[in-house]
Structure 1
């Protein structure tokens, strides 16, 4: 599983990085994603679910969100 730590980036850069990963990833491939920016922690999971990918929260604190994303289409 690939890992992508974008906790040092602010919105909208984390979303752009996720979109780049989705573009090159194969169906079924997984990514562990670490987010810190408040806007990204809210918007990225919602975006991924809206476009049809699986999102599982691994850990959530007031400063970090760790997700497992599975590309489904």
Structure 2
């Protein structure tokens, strides 16, 4: 599992960094990311869900959103 704290970045940087990180892991592996920017909190989970990856919110409060994204083999869909 890779952990990335993206709370210091504003949209669209967190989405770009999360996409690059997901490319670097194997199918079945997970990315744990932290987000604080309102746009990123909305866009990042939506992007990965729309792509078909598994997205689970571990924490969602006023301060930050903690996501666990598990990479799925999209060629099997």
Provide the TM-score with structure 2 as the length reference: 0.91
Structure 2 regions of 5+ residues with no counterpart?
Answer: none
In the TM superposition, residue 23 of structure 1 has moved relative to its aligned partner by: 1.4
CA-to-partner distance for each residue in 1:28-72, whole Å, 9 max, x for gaps? 010111000000000111100000100001011112000111000
RMSD: 0.7
Task: State the match for 1:10 in structure 2.
Answer: 10
Q: Tell me how far apart the structure 1 counterparts of residues 2 and 20 of structure 2 sit (CA, whole Å).
A: 13
- Structure ID, larger Rg: 2
Q: What's the TM-score once normalised by structure 1's chain length? A: 0.95
4+ runs deviating over 2 angstroms: none
Aligned pairs, number: 73
